[in-house]
Amino acid sequence: MNPHRPGRTALAPALLTVTALLALSACGTSEADSGTGAASTVTVRIPDPGNSGVLAVGKKDGSLDKALGKAGAKVEWTGSAGPFAPAAQAMNADQLDFATGSITSGVTSLAQRPGFKFFTAVDPDATGEGILVRNGSGIDSVAGLVGKKVAVNQGGTGEYLLLKALAKAGIPADQVERVYLRPDQTAAVFNAGKVDAWAVWATYAVAEIGSGKAHFVADGAAIGSDNYSLNAVRTGFADKHPEIVKALYQYLHDASVREKKDPAAYLNVFTDVGPTAVSGKALEAQTAIIAKGGTVDPIGPEDIERFEAVAAFYAEQKVTKGQVDVAAHLLDIEKLT
């Protein structure tokens, strides 16, 4: 988080992510809940992190297993990093213990009888998310989106960013056509000109910006985004193994501090070639985004106010049927024992 912010105090009770979870090999009850005895090692099921980030480094060098081993746990990498919605479903079905997502996708997932709680927050990304347009599109402001087609992921970050941008500009949402697409399917549609813009976050934006063919017409700062990144843990796991959740938090916090200081060390972790690698201007863009970003910290009162603002906005925009009670699904990491 921003080191210059006032001291943060985590609140009592009241996410890096997953795509192909239907084919998870570890289904049903995890070893974590099997009741095999205190001496046994607890398995923590975490989405495979891919080629970048603190979890990728933790997987490669074994540092995450080493950190969790002190709390009697080990990692089972399962599924793959992707949108939060399927990860939330997997946690609800006891097929996953941990995942990362945004407060925007978190709010819609919390509206579905959630079996998970959030326990950390990373400040909204002011520079890596926004409304992407192709160079030469003629769209030079949010107002230029009127009558256009904009690709968004339904109920997640993309839809939030578009609706938030339109609201700030005083433009009725129905004056822009939302095209609902999975983010991993959108680049081809966007580059083929089948949509006029793409509301998107850094995971997908850096490749487009790095190509030199697209830019943000409005980024997170201009939009006034409250789109925090959050880490979630399955409720049953947290109830049974709070010490492991606390160890996982500490690892993520410490590693995120190091990542912010040396972003390049957390990119192209396993390979610097192929579709998962970043290079050239995309690498420069991603490095700058990480350096300007936040760190993994406990959830404080000021964060919850902004979470609630997102939930209220979603209810107002009829993305959810009513306002979701986010605070009921938060853990105070500093009070876990």
Contact 108, 163 (CB under 8 A): no
Please tell me the distance from the alpha carbon of residue 116 to that of residue 121, in angstroms, as a whole number.
Answer: 15
| pLDDT value for 308 | 97
Query: CB count, 10 Å around CB of 148?
Result: 17
Q: Considering only CA atoms, which of 159, 257, 275, 274 is closest in space to residue 266? A: 257
Q: What is the pLDDT of residues 92-147, one digit of tens each?
A: 999 999 999 999 999 999 998 899 999 999 999 999 999 999 999 999 999 999 99
Which pLDDT band, with edges at 50, 70 and 90, does 83 fall under? confident
- Provide the 3-class DSSP secondary structure of residue 224: coil
- Percentage of residues of the chain with pLDDT beyond 90: 83
Average pLDDT, the chain: 89
Q: What digits encode the pLDDT tens for the residues 210-236?
A: 999 999 999 999 999 999 999 999 999
pTM: 0.85
Q: Which residues contact residue 174 at a Cβ distance below 8 angstroms, ignoring those fewer than 6 apart? A: none
What pLDDT, in 10s, does the model give residues 242-284? 999 999 999 999 999 999 999 999 999 999 999 899 999 999 9
Q: What CA–CA distance (Å, rounded) separates 323 from 108?
A: 10
Spatial distance between the Cα atoms of 27 and 25, rounded to a whole number of angstroms: 6
List, for residues 3-36, the tens digit of each pLDDT value: 434 334 333 333 333 333 333 333 334 444 444 4
pLDDT band for position 39 (cuts 50, 70, 90)? low
